[in-house]
Amino acid sequence: MSHDTTIDPNQTVLVTGATGYVAGWLVKNLLDAGLTVHAAVRDPDNSDKVAHLLALADSAPGTLKLFKADLLDAGSYSEAMAGCTVVFHTASPFILTFDDAQKDLIEPARQGTLNVLDSVNKTDSVKRVVLTSSCAAIYGDNIDLQTSGKKALDETDWNTTSSLTHQPYSYSKTLAEKAAWETVEQQSRWDLVTINPSLVLGPGINPRSTSASLGMFKQFASGKLKAGVPAFYIAAVDVREVADAHVTAAFKPEARGRYILSGHDTSFIEFADILRNQFGNDYGFPQRILPKPLVWLVGPLADKSMTRAMVSRNVGHPIRFDHTKSEQELGIHYRPLKDSIADFFNQLQDSGQIPKAKH
């Protein structure tokens, strides 16, 4: 970890969704600090999902215990939570394709969070919950920045524009975070800190994670975007900074409220330029921006999530986040974007998920 936080290793903590991309680095940091980590996963017998966690525990001073739990089963996390001082609630579906937004996104996100917090209310040892929220709970569409009249969005902003039918992933994260703040206010034994990352990039502890972050980068290497990309502006952060922020948020007593974790305001075309500079032309990285009217017309035919409303409210509209609070209060130092992208792409190559360049 890149900063000092005093951690008493004689404590036990829970990580929900421990198999996840973001959770991998978090579990590593916690085990490296000597803690006992209760890792709640959907299927402890699935070695593709848990082998990397067991390997981490073999070479770290901490101790790992796997527990079976599902966000949709009431009371599912109680056993894993027993004796824990901190609960890291990272589990939530981060998927771009789904059949039923209510069932596949909203229920596990919101109901799952309430389920975990219900167990927190019944577990006296828990003093703090660190919730993995998202910048998706800060804004819904890029045009929201313009509407706000601000130069950059910050922790006081909330997503008010997403719904079940428009940006449902963002809606799921907003409902989940709101439910958490409403729950914490009803008692005083435990407190809540949220980490709100923008798009997370960088190498995973499990190189074969199923997070949508990896899917997005694999697209850039597929040659399918060769004709060009829409003028999508996006913000991004390295997965290692996100994990560090969770740990400091848990163990620094003064940490409070929401923390935007976002290193860089960038764009799809900047991703492509960085990739081409580092990995050459063989992959067919996009070289130009597609005209917005074309994207508006054809986008919905190519991708179900790219509705006309989504294109209108996002394409061509910059987005900017103020990450000052994370730097000042959590001591986060954001690494250069090109380093995160290079490390990420190298890992996708090394693990055989994208071909090596020919030259």
Q: What are the residues binding ligand NAP (CB under 6 A)?
A: 17, 19-23, 41-42, 49, 70-72, 90-94, 108, 132, 134, 173, 197, 199-200, 209-211, 213
Closest-approach residue to ligand NAP (CB): 20
Find the shortest distance in angstroms from Cβ 202 to ligand NAP.
Answer: 10
How, if at all, do strands 128-132 and 191-197 pair? Answer: parallel
In whole angstroms, what is the distance from residue 176 CA to residue 116 CA? 11
Q: What are the strands of the beta sheet with 257-261, ordered from one edge? A: 63-68, 36-41, 12-16, 84-89, 128-132, 191-197, 257-261
Residue 195 or 290 with smaller CB distance to ligand NAP: 195
Residue 246 or 290 with smaller CB distance to ligand NAP: 246
**241 and 261 in contact (C-beta within 8 Å)?**
yes
Find the shortest distance in angstroms from Cβ 353 to ligand NAP.
Answer: 14
Cα torsion 20, 24, 29, 31: sign: positive
Residue 45 or 58 with smaller CB distance to ligand NAP: 45
Find the shortest distance in angstroms from Cβ 93 to ligand NAP.
Answer: 5
Amino acid at 313: R
Find the shortest distance in angstroms from Cβ 92 to ligand NAP.
Answer: 3
Find the shortest distance in angstroms from Cβ 38 to ligand NAP.
Answer: 14
Per DSSP, helices labelled H in the chain are 21-32, 47-58, 78-81, 101, 112-121, 143-148, 168-184, 212-221, 239-251, 268-279, 292-302, 308-314, 324-330, 337-350
Structure tokens given for 154: 């910050």
Residue 90 or 159 with smaller CB distance to ligand NAP: 90
Phi-psi region of 307 (alpha: psi -120 to 50; beta: other; left: phi over 0): beta
In whole angstroms, what is the distance from residue 43 CA to residue 216 CA? 25
Residue 19 or 290 with smaller CB distance to ligand NAP: 19
Residue 92 or 142 with smaller CB distance to ligand NAP: 92
Find the shortest distance in angstroms from Cβ 104 to ligand NAP.
Answer: 9
Contacting residues for 48 by C-beta, under 8 A, at least 6 apart = 208
Find the shortest distance in angstroms from Cβ 296 to ligand NAP.
Answer: 25
Residue 202 or 299 with smaller CB distance to ligand NAP: 202
